[in-house]
Amino acid sequence: MNDIIIKLLWTLLGLFIVLNWGMLMGASMRKIVARVAHRRGIPIYQPWLDLIKLYAKRTSISHGVMFYLGPVFRLGGGVGIFLFLPLIYGSEYWSNFSWAGDLVLILYFQFFGMLGMALGAGEGGHPNSVIGITRGLSQFTTVEIPLTLAVISLALQYNTLSITEIVAAQQGGVQNWTLFTNPVATVAGMLSLLGALRHAPFNLVKAPNEVPIGPPTEYHSAFLGVLRTNGAVLHVVEAALFMNLFFGGATNWAEFIIKTFLIYFWSVFVGVVHPRFRIEQSVVWFLKIPLAIGVLAVILYI
Amino acid sequence: MVKNLYIILVLVGLGFMFYTFADGFESADKLNPVAERYAKQGPDEVGAANLVTAVVVTYRGLDTLGEVTILFLSAAIVAFFLKVTYGEEEKRQTRSVSEIMQTAARLLTPAVFLLGIYVFINGHLTPGGGFQGGAIIASGLVLMLLAKPNMKVSHTLIHVVESISGLAFVFIGVLGILYAGGFLDNSLMGMGTLGSLLSAGVIPLIYIFVGLKVGAELSNIVAHLQESQNEA
Amino acid sequence: MVGPIYIIAIALGLAFLLGFFKKLNANIAQTFMMAGVGAMSFISVQWLFGHLAGMVTETVTYTAGFKPPFSISLQMGAMEAGVTSMINIFGFLGGVYLWRKLKEMGLNAIIIYMVTLMGLNVIVLTRDLFNLFVFLEVSTIGIVGLILLERGVNTISSGFKYLVAGGVISSFMLIGTIMIYKYAGSLYINDIITSNIAATKGGMVALFLLLIAVILELKPFPANGWALDVYESANSGISAFLSAGFATAMLFVLYKLMPMFPIEWQAMVAVVGGITFIGANLLGIRQKNAQRLLGYSSAGQMGLLTAVIGLSSYLNEQFIFILVTILLGHYLAKAGLFWLAGIVKEKEINSWSLLRREPLLVVLFGVFILTLLGMPPFPSFFGKWELIMKLAAGGQTTWILAILIGSFLEAVYLFKWFGYVLKGENEGLPVLQIKPEKIISPVVFATVSVMAGYYAGSLLGETNFAFYIPLMFIAAIGLLEFLPAFVKNTFAIAGMGYLAYTTLPGLFETDLLRFIFMGIFILGGILTLFAGYYYKGKRQGFYPSALIMFAGLAGIIQAETLLQFFFSWELMTIGSYFLIIRGKRSMTHGFSYMLFSLAGAYAILAAFGMVDAQVGNMLSALGGVTSHATLIFALLAIGFMTKTATLGLHIWLPGAHAEAESDVSPMVSAILLKAGVFGLLLTFFGMGAESAGNSSILYVLGWLGAITALVGNLAASFQEDAKRLLAYSSIGQLGYILFAYAMATQLGWIGGFLYVINHFAFKAILFLTIGAVVLRVKTHNMYEMGGLIKRMPLAFIAALIGIIALSGVPPLSGFAGKWFFYNAVILKGWYFQGAVVFFAGVIAFLYSYRILQTVFLGQLKDEHRHVKEIPLTFLIPIYILVIGIMIFSMYTHWVLEPITQYLTAYFPSDPVHWDGAAATTSLGYWNGTWVMYIIGIMFVLILGWLLWLNAKATKVKQFNMVFSGERPFTPETTHMAHNMYAGYNKALGFITAPGITTFWNKVAEFVTDAAGFIRRIYTGNGQTYAFHIVAYIVIIYFMIF
Amino acid sequence: MIIKIVAIIIGLLIIGLAIYALHAKKLTVAILGAGAVSLLASIMFLLLAAPDVAMTEAAIGSGLSTIIFFYVLNKIRKQNG
Amino acid sequence: MENIGLENIALFSGLILSLVGLWGLLTQKNIIKMIVGFALLDTGIHLIMIAVGYVKNSTAPIIGEGVTKANAADVIADPIPQALVLTAIVIGLGITALMLAYAVKMHQKKKSLDINHYKDLKW
């Protein structure tokens, strides 16, 4: 019993680290993007302020039960991935609850949050949220394919679906990273990451610059706070997943922070230099080059 | 025309098929075993001098029954079909028939009837029999009708004759099962002397009935046709 | 025993006697006639019973006191007794049926009727060739007379055509007969058989003429236009006479004379019959006139029987059985249908809907149609079964194909007709006037058909009494049709419960595979039946149909022999067809369902034939097949895939499932589809997946399953109709299942089982929920719904659980399937198929979201502001399933571990290890229970946190939302539901282009066009028909000489 | 020998009359032709030692049949008129 | 001439007469003529049948002048085909009468004897 409580405490600590790191990373990215566009950008502490403000807001309205549950699902999705993901290789405590399920569990748990969010936003009754969701789902379907193929390739390469074992196989030097041992799969995975994180050019879903659109339209105050929390957690966790799969994992928090930052940066960087796709364009795009690369990745390991 | 060509083609094919029958066709020098038995034993078994009659009435009696049935059916159908609906009773044929014709018919008709009866009574002895006799009787009726187109033939009479003779035919047949070797067995009655009128078992009896029946049925057909002439 | 000669004596004596009474009261005359026919029937039936009881032996009656060949003899063997019984009993019932007509037409008609019947008797009995000819003429002339019961110009001209054709045919017969006499020296059939007549060319030609004349009397395609006109225009009682009486007798003549002909001609007879069977049935497709249609069918059936006679050398000891059962089926059904045609008095088959005014007539119609088609439990089913088995044993694959094609074509028009009867607007249908004397005979024949079916089945030595218990139960329910629905529903559920009680425990001990499927069938049956309490009134026809389906389903599980399996399979198909077409607009879909099912069933039948030929009748012996194993495997797979709606064979499913009633959709979707899966599993288990041929088929099936999943899911995403969406989703899910089983590895099959159970549970939940919602909101279109969560929250929760289970999101059971898939795919090496499947799995989110969003979320429509929660009768089964699915998700290992053990027998390598809830493979691991716990706790914690933060959240009105300062529009325009995935459709919609539907439509079009083209040979000109006859003779002559 | 020649002549006549009957413009001629064919056939039967058949053919084939034909023809004429 | 017997002549005439009759039945548009054709076909068949029953140089199968019970088997023609023909003739008459009755009724309905006018039922 003690074990579990201690485990739980460590996990909560990890979650806290990840959350803060996520916010910091998000803020710094926005800063970078702003600088590229010759703007000053937000102060680096802005996300914290936002979050506190949102959680503290008094007005709160609800459109119904599912509306209420939507953010819960959403954050549950992010935290869930965190829970099933081993963060630091070799550390029993930082491996969270990854013993309950392997890579497949994480791949499919991504949908948990998406689906709940989508339904919650749907109950809000705002037409734009539905539009956003349909776009998001549409895009996500094809984003998954290269990732799936990359995962299959990895499973073939390492003969396992356990993330811990995949990381273990990459220890012993940079040359053992999947990035170098299986570059094709890495490329496929990284392209998929672009879509998964929904940065430009695949950000029509959120379309941050237009009038309120996308799933969060109706959400505000604590609801939005929960969503923001999830955003921060999810970004880090997604990056951590890719780190584990392709970049040798992390043996300590420093390595974790550097690698996740770079992975995250990659997605932002691509977004800055590319215009936005329409949904059917991105759907088709993922079915072309990334798909081909994914297929190649598998073929190489047959 | 193309169609006729097809027909010719098909008929030529048929001719080709038929040619296999004609090709090398030779009549036998002697009778086959079945016919031979009829020839050898027929006079004794059946007692009929006319072996064709023996075959028709006895050996293949069932065929004859079927044949009578067919005529019966045809008569019934024609009657059933051309059921006369006298729209206007008076609208009869008015064409007059010549005096000579009428007289001749009046004289000839009984003779024709008698001839018919003669033919079927002697069916087991000489050529002829029930069918021919019946046909002759019907011709007599035609003669009558020619002379008197407006004559109303008594259907009741025809039907009674037809029914009685038909029933008698069947009855004799059944008696054969009960008292002799089988349906239509000839040996129900004595064979008599070959060549005499009262011989050949029940053949004369049957032929009388067949003759009456055929005569009645053919008359029936003719009468119906005649009456339908006057149909409204 | 009263001798057969008395048949003649009675009929003729009576006929001549009646002549006395030209003016006699027709009633009395008719009573005499019926007494006479009754006596004839008695004579033949007593002989039949004597033969059946073994009391008498083949008896020959001599006439004129001489033995054949010197006189004509009548033979009364078992066959003769049977056939004359058939003819006379038909004659009696037909007389009852025609009572009024005959009376109206008078004495002559009565006499003709009786004499014609007598003629047919003699045709059957006589052993003399010329006598045969004479009485054939008697019958022909009699029929020509009977045609005149109707006096329309068409009837008369068709009678003339018949007469001309009959005259030509009998001329050839006469030439043949006399030439046979010439060469054989005898007219006694036995003599001719023993004589060496075929040695000479002339003798051969003579025999040929006789044979072809007999065949022509059976109305072979295409030389049968003359008969069709009569069938069409004669009084229906007479058409029945022609079809059931005359054709039966003529068929027997062919049978009787067959030994006369050289053995090589059997092939010719068979081919002629086969061409007729296919040709006549093909032309039937375009036919609209009911009686003419029956005429085509009649010709077709005679063709089949002719083929059977021609194929007798392959059928060995079962020849008689096959001949008699198929003949009996034809006889009963055709007579019955013609009689019904007379009751309906509508010419066009699409006006037959007025039968619906009388449920009894519908039942009769159904019995006759199914009898005709050889469906269980009717006699011809067993005949066709044995036929295929024996042909397969003889290696006659082409023949099997031909017979199945012909049967299929026949089914096409019969079921189309059936559809017209069962469906359409009830409004404005005139009331049927049924005279009592017209209904007796069909009822008797329908009853006989059922009993004969049972008898035929028991003759095959199957212990199939057990199979009749459910049928009796169904019949009992059928008799209780007058009771209100809820009473019948209770009976039905009780019956299912009893079935569960008697079967499930035993199966649990012995066979897990069967236990699982039986559990799904029975449990699903009870739950979906429970929803039926919602319906008020009598719900006529529902319970018999549903129970027939469930009886079939239970039967395929319990079947031990191939025959039992196929019997149950067809039973299930019929029951489900009836269920499906109950929907308002489901006729066309039910029709295509039936066609695909039948085609599939025929594929199965063909495969079973080949199996039976090699290893016998036991289902368990499937594995012993050695030759043609791959073909058998493929045929079985195709057959079963018509039921699982695999891509290419799926076009029936969406409509059939979507348009069915609310509680029928889950029956046919969640439950019925599993029958196909069960069949596939039997095949895979039975035949093994190891052999090279099979594994390459499985490879194809794997791809097929994957693509089916993709296309099904994609198409589901683009539907506007909620039930159609679910239907397409079923296609996709069944694609997964096919894929899983095609992998033929332990992991794959575990995944497959998981999907089977999972799909059953969530699809039942979803269809019940959506069906109930549809009942409430009265529309299928999702864009006309929306916001219903406010009105029916319980329905929403159920649907949500169902959707989560469907989409494979952890922690519900769907994920377990995905997990096994990943492991299986990678270990099997089917990476790209796997990728397609996973892609399909992601696409499932699109429609999952769509159905939840557009039905339950978004804007509530004004007209739905007061709809009620879905009915309790639906909620109860739904929530039982919801609880079930939760338990199954949490403790998946309770089910999967035994399955793993079960499968170890087939896959000894054992890649999955179970340690409590934790599953481990060489690749990965997964602990369902813990995942559930972790996610549950986390979810509760976050929810609690949000509640703490946001405790005072107030509910706002529907239109209170962020809308750029504008007031939103109406619910209709604000509800984004129509064409939801427009962008996606633009990108990938081409995949769902209805190419397959178009393909099948083109096929159908081609067939109907062909039928339309070929049937132009029937110009209506009597002369042309006569020419056809002559040309037919000549052509066949030149083909065999 | 003479019988044979007679038979051949009768045979030829039969065929010729038959063709003539079928191609006659007038129906009465056609019917009479058929009757004549029947009559000739009955002579042929006589030659072939079948007096019974000859009688029958003469009485029925050429006699009654022809009469019936004429009745029908007459009837049809009346229907036309 | 020697090897052509009476029976050959009869058979040949019969066969050709049948073909002619059939030709008439198949080509004549007039219903009455079709029936005439049918009657000819029938007569042809009767000829064939009698030809089959003929035995070389035989006499009628009637016991009387020249035919005794003893020599009957050697001198008579086969009685069976003759009996059959008797039946066939009567049957032919029945059918012909029926056809004619039909012709009358058909004509009554449509006032036409052309077989081409009676094809309302087809396909």
Write down the domain spans for chain C: 1-150, 153-212+998-1041, 263-461, 462-784+797-940
Whether the predicted pLDDT of A211 surpasses 50: no
Q: Is A101 in contact with A160 (CB distance < 8 Å)?
A: no
Please choose, from the candidates A26, A296, A288, A299, the residue with its C-alpha nearest in 3D space to the C-alpha of residue A143: A288
Q: Is A88 in contact with A94 (CB distance < 8 Å)?
A: yes
For E103, which residue in chain C has the nearest alpha carbon? C160
**D56 CA: distance to closest CA in chain B (Å):** 5
Whether E60 and D52 lie within 8 Å, measured CB to CB: yes
Which residues have C-beta within 8 Å of that of residue C655, sequence separation ≥ 6? Answer: C586, C588, C589, C592, C724, C727
In which residue are the tokens 């199954």 written? C888
**E28 CA: distance to closest CA in chain B (Å):** 10
Contact of C935 with chain A, judged by CB distance below 8 Å, is answered with yes
**A123 CA: distance to closest CA in chain C (Å):** 5
For B9, which residue in chain C has the nearest alpha carbon? C1031
Contact of D54 with chain E, judged by CB distance below 8 Å, is answered with no
Whether E25 and C179 lie within 8 Å, measured CB to CB: no
Taking only the tens place, the pLDDT of each residue in E42-83 is 999 999 998 888 888 788 888 877 777 778 778 888 888 999
Question: Cα–Cα distances in Å, from C786 out to C771, C790, C863, C967?
Answer: 15, 10, 11, 19
**D21 CA: distance to closest CA in chain E (Å):** 8
* Residues in E touching B60 (Cβ below 8 Å): 80, 83-84, 87
Helix (H) or strand (E) holding B98: none
Whether E18 and C134 lie within 8 Å, measured CB to CB: no
Taking only the tens place, the pLDDT of each residue in A148-199 is 899 999 998 998 999 999 999 998 888 889 889 999 999 999 888 888 877 7
Whether B22 and E12 lie within 8 Å, measured CB to CB: yes
Range of the domain at D40: 2-80
Q: Going by beta carbons, is chain B in contact with chain E, meaning 3 or more pairs sit under 8 Å apart?
A: yes
- DSSP bridge pairs for E59: E76
Between CA C933 and CA D55 the distance in angstroms is: 110
Question: Cα–Cα distances in Å, from C775 out to C290, C661, C669?
Answer: 37, 9, 18
Tokens of C905: 């027998």
Instruction: Report the residue of C130, C164, C186, C287 to disrupt the E interface, i.e. the one with the largest count of E CBs within 10 Å.
Output: C164
Nearest to B229 among D54, D68, D75 (CB): D75
* Residues in E touching D26 (Cβ below 8 Å): none
Between CA B154 and CA B139 the distance in angstroms is: 16
Stretch D51-67: mean pLDDT: 87
Angle between helices A103-123 and C831-851 (to 10 degrees): 20
Q: Is B103 in contact with B186 (CB distance < 8 Å)?
A: no
**C7 CA: distance to closest CA in chain E (Å):** 22
Taking only the tens place, the pLDDT of each residue in D28-37 is 999 999 999 9
Any chains having at least 3 CB pairs less than 8 A from chain E are: B, C, D
Instruction: Report the residue of C713, C803, C831 to disrupt the A interface, i.e. the one with the largest count of A CBs within 10 Å.
Output: C831
For chain C positions 126-145, those within 8 Å of chain B (CB to CB) are 126, 128, 130-131, 134-135, 137-138, 141-142, 144-145
Angle between helices A2-36 and A221-246 (to 10 degrees): 90
Q: Is C833 in contact with C702 (CB distance < 8 Å)?
A: yes
Q: What angle do CA C831, C835, C840 make, to 5 degrees?
A: 150
Which residues have C-beta within 8 Å of that of residue B216, sequence separation ≥ 6? Answer: B134, B158, B159, B161, B162, B165
List residues of chain E with CB under 8 Å from any CB of chain C.
18, 22, 25-27, 29, 31, 34, 38, 41-42, 45, 48-49, 52, 80-81, 84, 87-88, 91, 94-95, 98-99, 102-103, 105-106, 109-110, 115-116, 118-123
What 8-state DSSP symbol labels residue A214? S
**C1003 CA: distance to closest CA in chain E (Å):** 22
Whether E101 and B78 lie within 8 Å, measured CB to CB: yes
* Residues in D touching B127 (Cβ below 8 Å): 51-52, 54-55
Q: How many distinct structural domains can be found in chain D?
A: 1
Q: Going by beta carbons, is chain D in contact with chain C, meaning 3 or more pairs sit under 8 Å apart?
A: no
Residue B90, pLDDT score: 44
Whether C987 and A137 lie within 8 Å, measured CB to CB: no
pLDDT band (50, 70, 90) for residue D60: confident
CA E75 distance to own-chain centroid: 26
- Sorted by where each starts, the structural domains of chain E and their CATH numbers stand as 6-58+71-117 (1.10.287.3510)
Nearest to B56 among E48, E52, E83 (CB): E83
Whether the predicted pLDDT of B79 surpasses 60: yes
Contact of C267 with chain B, judged by CB distance below 8 Å, is answered with no
**E121 CA: distance to closest CA in chain D (Å):** 24
* Residues in E touching D59 (Cβ below 8 Å): none
Stretch B148-165: mean pLDDT: 80
Taking only the tens place, the pLDDT of each residue in A69-118 is 888 998 999 999 999 999 888 887 888 888 888 899 998 888 888 888 88
Q: What is the ipTM of this complex?
A: 0.87
* Residues in E touching C299 (Cβ below 8 Å): none
Instruction: Report the residue of D15, D19, D47, D55 to disrupt the B interface, i.e. the one with the largest count of B CBs within 10 Å.
Output: D55
pLDDT band (50, 70, 90) for residue A213: low
* Residues in E touching B127 (Cβ below 8 Å): 60, 62
Nearest to C233 among E29, E38, E121 (CB): E121
Residue B25, pLDDT score: 74
Between CA C372 and CA C411 the distance in angstroms is: 9
For C824, which residue in chain A has the nearest alpha carbon? A152
Instruction: Report the residue of E102, E113, E117 to disrupt the C interface, i.e. the one with the largest count of C CBs within 10 Å.
Output: E102
Q: Going by beta carbons, is chain E in contact with chain C, meaning 3 or more pairs sit under 8 Å apart?
A: yes
Which residues have C-beta within 8 Å of that of residue C552, sequence separation ≥ 6? Answer: C568, C569, C570, C571, C572, C573, C574, C575, C576, C675
Residue C322, pLDDT score: 94
**Which segment of A124-138, A230-244, C878-892, C920-934 scores lowest on mean pLDDT?**
A124-138
Between CA C443 and CA B120 the distance in angstroms is: 51
Whether E93 and D38 lie within 8 Å, measured CB to CB: no
Counting one residue from chain D and one from chain E, the pairs whose CB atoms sit within 8 A come to 150
**Which segment of A16-30, A48-62, A76-90, E96-110 scores lowest on mean pLDDT?**
A48-62
Averaged in consecutive runs of 10 residues, what is the pLDDT profile of chain C (1041 residues)?
A: 87 85 76 92 92 88 83 90 94 92 86 92 92 93 90 89 92 92 88 87 90 94 90 92 93 93 91 94 91 93 94 90 94 94 86 83 91 89 92 90 93 89 72 83 92 86 68 81 87 90 88 91 92 86 89 90 90 90 84 92 92 88 83 91 89 88 88 92 81 78 92 91 92 93 89 92 93 90 88 92 90 89 89 90 89 88 88 93 93 89 81 86 88 90 87 78 73 81 84 86 92 90 91 92 82
DSSP states along C135-161: HHHHHHHHHHHHHTTS--HHHHHHHHH
Amino acid identity at B94: T
Residue C797, pLDDT score: 92
Residue A207, pLDDT score: 57
Residue C517, pLDDT score: 93
